[in-house]
Chains A and B, each alone.
Chain A
């Protein structure tokens, strides 16, 4: 009888140890998964933060020049975080000023550049697409214009164009870049100065790479 009870006790103890070890292993695995997710999230935040901080910086710069009625001033006691929150979100119904529009425009270009710079190269697409763009633009550009390095990555291509004057640039953009159906994807054209254009071309179906939100 005693032997039987001892065997049962050992069996119960063994079962308890087994359950403990199993649950402990499951717990460790879950913790490892959570840790991996947190690390992935942190990497994503680290990737996005430069653009967000730049946008906040632009918003603060805009606030300094915008009319008082269109901005919300942070209280003197507010910290840096409060200042960002107060200026980054326009009030409902507030018409954005020309300066704010310009700042958003610049933020779009910055975002496109950050996206482009962070992309790897899709070998199956980038090389042939860059050559096709180079060929198409070379034949379409006026003789007085210049093209600097067409570079393609995964979802975006980037090319710089220089023209003899603003009129030549406008004609080329209007007649070729915006009207041509050869490039089916989206475009973002930025003008650092009136006679030059920095052009980002989005691979078809990847237009989100050019959007801020």
Chain B
């Protein structure tokens, strides 16, 4: 019986070690966002946010710095705003490592009329380079990005 208690205590201790592992959290404005070709003229900067002034949906690519010593775990968030249900903002996260590319699922704004933060699902291991890609509807804007890597940070 004592053996089981010791194992249980060890598991609980390991759980706490896992929880208290360092996390490298970062955030940035969307002003680093890049649009392709003529779409570049559609985006205006506004206090770090990137606003789509065109009448159709445009894509914006926003890079995220990677701390290469973080080997596992990550969370990716985007803050965006649209005041119109028919003009959404949908984003996904893309990671590039070695000879493979991974992309998370698309997430769209859950509500309209105020800044909303979306959590993106993405492959969480070993991104060498990472970027967000967002579909920005007319009049909508991407305000900023937040991301955190964990593991051996």
With A92-B152, A178-B94: A207-B106 Cβ-Cβ less than 8 Å? no
With A105-B126, A179-B133, A210-B123: A191-B99 Cβ-Cβ less than 8 Å? yes
B46 on the A face (CB < 8 A)? no
Q: Which residue of A lies closest to B70 (CB)?
A: A96
With A108-B123, A211-B125: A94-B69 Cβ-Cβ less than 8 Å? yes
B93 to chain A, nearest CB (A): 9
Chain B proximity mask over A21-42: 1 for CB below 8 Å, otherwise 0? 0000000000000000000000
Are B68 and A95 interface neighbours, CB within 8 A? yes
* Residues of chain B whose beta carbon lies under 8 Å from any beta carbon of chain A: 59, 68-69, 71-73, 90, 92, 94, 97-106, 121-126, 128, 133, 135, 152
A175 to chain B, nearest CB (A): 9
Q: Which of B124, B125, B135 contacts A181 (CB 8 A)?
A: B135
| Residues of chain A contacted by B94 (CB below 8 angstroms) | 178
Q: Which residue of B lies closest to A177 (CB)?
A: B103
A70 to chain B, nearest CB (A): 10
Are A109 and B126 interface neighbours, CB within 8 A? no
Bound together, the chains give a CA A90 to CA B153 distance in angstroms of 11
Q: Which of B59, B99, B105, B124 contacts A213 (CB 8 A)?
A: B124
| Residues of chain A contacted by B59 (CB below 8 angstroms) | 179
Query: How many contacts between A and B, using CB within 8 angstroms?
Result: 107
Are A101 and B152 interface neighbours, CB within 8 A? no
Chain B proximity mask over A188-213: 1 for CB below 8 Å, otherwise 0? 11111000000000101101001111
A137 on the B face (CB < 8 A)? no
Are B124 and A187 interface neighbours, CB within 8 A? no
Q: Which of A95, A98, A191, A207 contacts B100 (CB 8 A)?
A: A191
| Residues of chain B contacted by A96 (CB below 8 angstroms) | 68-69, 71, 126
Q: Which residue of B lies closest to A194 (CB)?
A: B99
B94 to chain A, nearest CB (A): 6
| Residues of chain B contacted by A109 (CB below 8 angstroms) | 100
